[in-house]
Amino acid sequence: MIGRRFFIKSSGLALASFAVTPSFLVRAAMTERAKDHPVLIAVFQRGAVDGISMVVPYGDPNYRPARPQIAIDSPMDLDGFFGLHPALDSLKPIYDEGRLAVVHAAGSPDNTRSHFDAQDYMESGAPGNKNIEDGWLNRYLRVKPDRSATPFRAVAFSPNVPRSLMGPAPVVAMSRIGDFGVRSGAGAFEAMYGGETFEAVHVLEGARPQQYGPENGAQYPASPYGQSLLQIAQLIKAGVGLETAFTEIGGWDTHANQGNDRGQLAGRLQEFGQGLSALYRDLGDRMENVVVITMTEFGRAIRQNGSGGTDHGHAGALLLLGGPIKGGRVYGRWPGLAPDQLHEGRDLSLTTDFRDVFSEVVRQHLGAGDVSRVFPGYTPAVRLGLLP
């Protein structure tokens, strides 16, 4: 942290304000309890990952003919029909341990093929409704208010608050824990912005999350995505009251030369998988209370396009990972890839609404009773049984 110390020395006002913040002590006492708290981490694959390359329906006779150059040659078998992309080999052991589940042919029922709209819908949690201003994760925070929550109940690792977390409930967005502070004169800025604005800064200073290095040999990718996951793990270990975390990884909009077992998409998947598996290893036993879900705006067209890539499609695949997940299975009804089975003759048809998936996580893992307020106007259609 940059200059909190400098500042304490240089400003009596700040010293006073720090001394009269008793809530931090209360929070420190909470840390023990926080260990049993459920944590949800949402990872958004922005740009729309090609679901059938990530989790390959190699058993479908129409798969290879649709993709002469970009079909995956050696998927890692999951259940005799689906296989993981070989670049996701780091996730295979987690699947085998029964801690990773796939929901296939899942996504948003809205027909839009616009990245912007589709991301917006999945993050607002209200496909087709442009009048919802807050995000579904922020609504969750309000549906299940927590009187003992810390400023770090909801954290986004991004410079700006993502749509999923936008709304009236307080959220912290940051790029790096180390940058989350004011270099000098914090007390004056605190006074300007309303007194205790910077409580989050004080909490971090007390907890010093950066002292927690990766454990169990976990190796996070050096990318912003990998480093975000590492820092999420640090916040969990530091016991600052983290409950909902959000991060993202881009580069999925593979319109051209996406490659097959190797190539552009494989490179993205490699980083993606390594990040998740590093988190899984690093958190070790703590993973018993952690669920990671992936989000992505839509799947991609079934037939490859003229540039060795795939255009925007409809349904795709979502992953869930963590101690509470009944993994080792691919969930969801497979709609098939025959021409008459495709959505609008070109895309994977949708058989599971993403809200069915997220609702189960919100209810079974986070313990929110009223899921219909998290996903307004929606009644879950299918009970998948992803969690006990």
Partner 1 sequence: MKGRTGIAFALILILLPPAHAGLGLAALTDNQRVLHILNRIGFGPRPGDIERVKKMGLDAYIEQQLHPERIDDSATEALLARFPSIRMDGAEIAKIYVPAKDIAPGQGVHPLQKLLQELQGQKLVRAVSSERQLDEVMVDFWYNHFNIFWGKGLDKSLTTGYEMNAIRPHALGKFKDLVMATAQHPAMLFYLDNALSSSPDTLTTTMERLEQLQREPFSPRREQQIDRIRERLEQQKKGRRPGINENYARELMELHTMGVDGGYTQKDVQEVARAFTGWTIDRTRENPVFVFRAAMHDPGEKVVLGRRIGAEGMKEGERVIDILVRHPSTARFIATKLVRRFVNDAPPGSLVDRVASVYTQTDGDIRQMLRAILTSGEFFSAEAYRAKTKSPFELAVSSIRALGASTNGGPRLAQAVATMGQPLYRCQAPTGFPDRASQWNSSGALLERINFGIALASNRIPGTPVELSRFADESASADVLVQRAADLALGGDISERTRKVVAGQVASPAGLSPVKAFSLVLGSPEFQKR
Residues 330-349 that bind partner 1 (CB under 8 A): 344
Instruction: Characterize the bridge pairing of strands 172-174 and 329-331.
Output: unpaired
The answer to whether 30 contacts partner 1 (rule: CB under 8 A) is no
Q: How many CB atoms lie within 10 A of CB 30?
A: 17
CB of 170 to partner 1, least distance (A): 4
CB of 373 to partner 1, least distance (A): 20
Nearer to partner 1 by Cβ, of 218 and 232: the residue is 232
Nearer to partner 1 by Cβ, of 168 and 284: the residue is 168
* DSSP bridge pairs for 173: 156
CB of 306 to partner 1, least distance (A): 3
Nearer to partner 1 by Cβ, of 272 and 280: the residue is 272
Is the CB of residue 106 less than 8 Å from the CB of residue 90? no
**Residues within window 345-374 making contact with partner 1, judged by CB under 8 A:** none
Name which position in 123, 271, 297, 311 contacts partner 1 (CB under 8 A). 311
The answer to whether 216 contacts partner 1 (rule: CB under 8 A) is no
CB of 264 to partner 1, least distance (A): 10
**Residues within window 268-307 making contact with partner 1, judged by CB under 8 A:** 304-307
Nearer to partner 1 by Cβ, of 147 and 383: the residue is 147
* DSSP bridge pairs for 205: none
CB of 95 to partner 1, least distance (A): 29
Q: How far apart are CA 290 and CA 324, in angstroms?
A: 7
Q: How far apart are CA 74 and CA 72, in angstroms?
A: 6
Q: Which of 248, 249, 271, 268 is nearest to 258 (CA)?
A: 268
CB of 224 to partner 1, least distance (A): 11
Nearer to partner 1 by Cβ, of 117 and 353: the residue is 117
Q: Which long-range contacts (CB under 8 A, 24 or more apart) does 374-380 make?
A: 374/125, 374/136, 374/139, 374/140, 374/143, 375/125, 375/126, 375/136, 376/125, 376/126, 376/129, 376/132, 376/139, 377/126, 377/129, 378/126, 378/353, 380/353, 380/355, 380/356
The answer to whether 326 contacts partner 1 (rule: CB under 8 A) is no
Name which position in 49, 66, 70, 295 contacts partner 1 (CB under 8 A). 70
CB of 131 to partner 1, least distance (A): 13
Instruction: Characterize the bridge pairing of strands 100-107 and 352-353.
Output: parallel
Tokens 């770090």, located at residue: 152
Q: How far apart are CA 350 and CA 369, in angstroms?
A: 27
Please list, residue by residue across 257-277, b when 16 or more beta carbons sit within 10 angstroms of its beta carbon and e when fewer do.
ebbbbeebbbebbbbbbbbbb
Provide the greatest CA pair distance for the chain. Answer: 74
**Residues within window 84-143 making contact with partner 1, judged by CB under 8 A:** 111-117
Q: How far apart are CA 178 and CA 189, in angstroms?
A: 19
The answer to whether 28 contacts partner 1 (rule: CB under 8 A) is no
**Residues within window 251-270 making contact with partner 1, judged by CB under 8 A:** 251, 253, 255-257
* DSSP bridge pairs for 43: 247, 294
Name which position in 32, 131, 147, 367 contacts partner 1 (CB under 8 A). 147
Name which position in 166, 218, 290, 320 contacts partner 1 (CB under 8 A). 166
Q: How far apart are CA 132 and CA 121, in angstroms?
A: 9
| DSSP letters spanning 117-134 | HHHHHHHHT-TT-TT--S
CB of 299 to partner 1, least distance (A): 15
Nearer to partner 1 by Cβ, of 160 and 285: the residue is 160
Nearer to partner 1 by Cβ, of 244 and 364: the residue is 244
Question: In what side-by-side order are the strands of the sheet with 83-84?
Answer: 55-56, 83-84, 76-77
Stretch that binds partner 1, among 102-110, 271-279, 308-316, 325-333 (CB under 8 A): 308-316
Stretch that binds partner 1, among 180-188, 279-287, 290-298, 356-364 (CB under 8 A): 180-188
**Residues within window 234-253 making contact with partner 1, judged by CB under 8 A:** 250-251, 253
CB of 249 to partner 1, least distance (A): 11
